[in-house]
Amino acid sequence: MLSAASRPYIDASVPVLKQHGLAITQHFYSHMLGAHPELRNLFNLGNQASGAQAQSLAAAVFAYAANVDNGAALAPVVERIVHKHAAVGIKPSHYPIVGRHLLAAIQAVLGDAATPALIAAWDEAYWLLAGELIAAEARLYQTTGTEAGKLQTLRVTRVEDDGEDVKSCYLEQNAGGSPGTFQPGQYVSVEAQWPETQSRQLRQYSLSDSPEKPYWRITVKRAHGAGSGAHGAVSNWLQAQIGLGDTLHVSPAFGDFTPALAESGPIVLISAGVGITPMVSTLNALVAARSARPIHFLHGVRSPRQQVLRADLTAAAAALPNLRVALYYEAGAETALAGLSTYSGRVDIDPTLAAINRADADFYLCGPLPFMRAQRHALLSAGVPATRVQREVFGPEMLDHLL
């Protein structure tokens, strides 16, 4: 718990630091990575270039300080950060480096306003958060039976085109068989290497099939115009360089977005674009379990050409009598898929809400942040309890709902 001496400084400075958060975190990353270039391998250089990573860090630190006495609000945020950290191999030794440069950035941006008492208060707040994360990450590494940063070598046993600019890679152990257990909705880190620049990057990809299969599957979308180090560079490397028989270095499965499959009430899976991948993993797990619960699968995409994993959707529709699939296309909705309902325009949650008891249903969201914010707002406005709505974020998350 934050000390009584530090509390007034944190309360008074959160609004000021929130206002200057982007400048602080940009200064932080610039100076930290300049002093410790080895850490570049842990950070998404595309998100660095766009500023998304800096904004996310600012939101996380300031949200923590603003809610330091509100464990219920912080618990899911801390859990999500822990899984993200474990996926890239964050170690306890990284925290002093981050803390030192973060406090120096606050001091540099605020100048004389960053008094010794204020810096001491933020030092305390940072180490409270760091202590929670270090302990939780240690427990997660122990649970998954792995070490921080340890990757396994997997072989690509199948490659399939799965929609325009999308391909799926099937991964197995060198001796054959599944690389390990996971829960539907989880993701893995995949390492890309560029020998010409002696650089490497890790990116996270949702596992897009059920845990019962004797392989792991990742489904990767090409990013047009992305070079090495930019947003989408690893996806393009996978698309261009990786084929049948190649090997990849891959982490264990992590992620706290794990839909509850054993419940009896309706489950509503809402996605857009490549955000369909953890939803199909969930859907295929429900197929494997022969689930009898009502399932509503809503997905939005630009056109049928961009429709990802369509074979999985048609197979699930044939296997699950209580499944209702609604595909929303901005163009070309008349090109229907067998057994599936297609509509023009963007995802509309209202028909589904009218067909179910919304207080008894579980809702899961995945897709671009604006899409998920709009869907979450629509659900809450319709009376769905916030505790019934979960979302998976690809990339840094803005924790504006806590600030």
Nearest to 356 by CA among 291, 268, 251: 268
CA angle, 70 then 104 then 148, to 5°: 65
**CA pair distance 205, 191, nearest whole angstrom:** 11
Structure tokens at 338: 């067998």
Instruction: Specify the DSSP element, H or E, that contains 327.
Output: strand 323-329
- Give catalytic residues, as residue numbers: 95, 137
307 and 280 Cβ atoms separated by less than 8 Å: no
Structure tokens at 358: 């919304």
**CA pair distance 278, 265, nearest whole angstrom:** 20
Q: Which residues is 200 bridged to in the sheet?
A: 193
148 and 141 Cβ atoms separated by less than 8 Å: yes
Q: What is the CA radius of gyration of the chain?
A: 22
